[in-house]
Amino acid sequence: MSPISLIKVALKALFRNRMRTILSVLGIVIGVAAVITMVAMGEGSKQSIKNQMTSMGTNAIIIMPNQNRRGGVQMSADNSSEHLEEADVIALREQAQYINAVSPMISANGQAIVGNNNSPTQLSGISSDYLKIRNYEIEDGVMFDDDADRIAKVCVIGQTVVSNLFPDGNPIGKTIRYKSIPLKVIGTLKAKGSGDFGQDQDDVIFTPYQTVMKRFNATTEIRQIYANSIGEGYAEKATEEIMGILKERRSWTKPTDPFRIHTQEEMITMMTTTSDMLSLVLTAIAGISLLVGGIGIMNIMYVSVTERTKEIGLRMAIGARGRDILLQFLFESVAISLLGGLIGILLGIGASQAVKAILNWPMSVSITSVVVSFGVCFITGVFFGWYPARKASNLDPIEALRFE
């Protein structure tokens, strides 16, 4: 029998038992739609994590003093025996090969005040490299110069601060007061949105780090150093190199490391692993419903074969080979599953969009999940249709014709 005739015969038989076909198709539709939606949910959350991480700077590396341990009691980081200092920053800038930007980070807490407006924003003392590390961009004005503005009373502010303090207009050239010290606004940053743990990345005031050290905190100690590795995949090498340079400066011989170094890559890996696990579990549950749909097809195909025993007998009597009968029934089950797959994919995409629109949940329908679902449907049809079809093709024509 030619493939076209086979398809015609199969579709005709399915059309004849419309209700039954619709119900079997529904089983697959639900399964596939569930898989697509769950995968979209998993992918969506994974991507939103990635995006947030990227907005913070993909290659960022954070160096901070190690927490000291003494007799099993963990002391606070402030009590650490080793401090970071400006010379470390200079050493890293000059010696390290695997990083292309380095900046200290030292903060002060307080209120920023302009007239009647105030903003409870942390003051961050940094060098200009910090913008590169954390993916900040200047929107208006200029960034301060590391040498010329070494301890200048200038600042660059984020959009949240702009709207808090300058609701009426252009902040450039205006002065804000932070802990009674006036800081002249020389630049504003482009909006970035919220970062990974929900904090507002636009609620920032940047000022030269020496300004914070000398004028606000009166210290030579640097809390953290931010660095930027030269590219994705270099985080580990950069970490080793940084640790080596810092240890060498101190002639460090103790077995424990004096500093902790975190990389953004580590964070991304950790968080995507969690989200991978989640999507795996969701997909497995959805997969089970697809399996149940497949069993539904098998059930209906067995009923169909039994019901049409006489037809099978007749077809064999007039010359259908076992193969022809096998293919006829296999085409039916594959048609059911592919039809279910097609509708399921559309429904799954629709459901994903609906979840995105209504619940504001990050959803991402991947082409892979669509293609794989369709493939799985085809396999489901063949797999669950095979035994009923085999049963039909192995019927004895004499017995089948006698069947009532």
Helices (H), 120-257: 129-133, 159-165, 209-211, 235-250
Using the contact rule CB under 8 A, the part of the chain among 26-34, 119-127, 266-274, 316-324 near other proteins is 316-324
Q: Which is nearer to other proteins, 123 or 320 (CB)?
A: 320
CA angle 295-380-286, nearest 5°? 75
Q: How far is the CB of 328 from other proteins (least distance, A)?
A: 10
Residue 401 binds to other proteins (criterion: CB under 8 A):
yes
Q: Which is nearer to other proteins, 8 or 190 (CB)?
A: 8
Burial of 342: CB neighbours in 10 Å, binned 0-12, 13-18, 19+: middle
Tokens matching residue 30: 């639900």
Q: Which is nearer to other proteins, 156 or 325 (CB)?
A: 325
Residue 320 binds to other proteins (criterion: CB under 8 A):
yes
Residue 5 binds to other proteins (criterion: CB under 8 A):
yes
Contact 264, 60 (CB under 8 A): yes
Total residues at interface with other proteins (CB under 8 A) = 23
Pick the binder of other proteins from 190, 250, 254, 310 (CB under 8 A). 310
Q: How far is the CB of 321 from other proteins (least distance, A)?
A: 4
Helix (H/G/I), strand (E/B), else coil: 73? strand
Q: How far is the CB of 24 from other proteins (least distance, A)?
A: 19
Q: How far is the CB of 340 from other proteins (least distance, A)?
A: 24
AA identity, residue 326: L
Q: How far apart are CA 275 and CA 269, in angstroms?
A: 10
Q: How far apart are CA 83 and CA 3, in angstroms?
A: 78
Q: How far is the CB of 353 from other proteins (least distance, A)?
A: 40
347-to-34, 344, 354 alpha-carbon distances in Å: 9, 5, 10
Q: Which is nearer to other proteins, 99 or 335 (CB)?
A: 335
Q: How far is the CB of 317 from other proteins (least distance, A)?
A: 5
Residue 322 binds to other proteins (criterion: CB under 8 A):
yes
Residue 254 binds to other proteins (criterion: CB under 8 A):
no
Q: How far is the CB of 303 from other proteins (least distance, A)?
A: 17
Length of the chain: 404
Tokens matching residue 368: 């892979």
Q: Which is nearer to other proteins, 12 or 250 (CB)?
A: 12
Pick the binder of other proteins from 314, 342, 349, 382 (CB under 8 A). 314
Residue 318 binds to other proteins (criterion: CB under 8 A):
yes
Give the helix/strand (H/E) hosting 219: none
Residue 175 binds to other proteins (criterion: CB under 8 A):
no
Burial of 382: CB neighbours in 10 Å, binned 0-12, 13-18, 19+: middle
Tokens matching residue 104: 């200290």
Q: How far is the CB of 320 from other proteins (least distance, A)?
A: 5
| Contact characters 31-70, other proteins, x per CB under 8 A | ----------------------------------------
Residue 319 binds to other proteins (criterion: CB under 8 A):
yes
Residue 18 binds to other proteins (criterion: CB under 8 A):
no
Phi-psi map region of 62: left, alpha, beta (phi>0 left; psi -120 to 50 alpha): beta
Tokens matching residue 265: 């890559």
Using the contact rule CB under 8 A, the part of the chain among 104-112, 114-122, 322-330, 365-373 near other proteins is 322-330
Q: Which is nearer to other proteins, 270 or 398 (CB)?
A: 398
Q: How far apart are CA 64 and CA 226, in angstroms?
A: 9
Burial of 179: CB neighbours in 10 Å, binned 0-12, 13-18, 19+: middle
Residue 2 binds to other proteins (criterion: CB under 8 A):
yes
Residue 306 binds to other proteins (criterion: CB under 8 A):
no
36-to-46, 180, 272, 317 alpha-carbon distances in Å: 15, 57, 19, 45
What residues make contact with other proteins under the rule CB under 8 A? 1-2, 5, 9, 12, 16, 310-311, 313-324, 397-398, 401
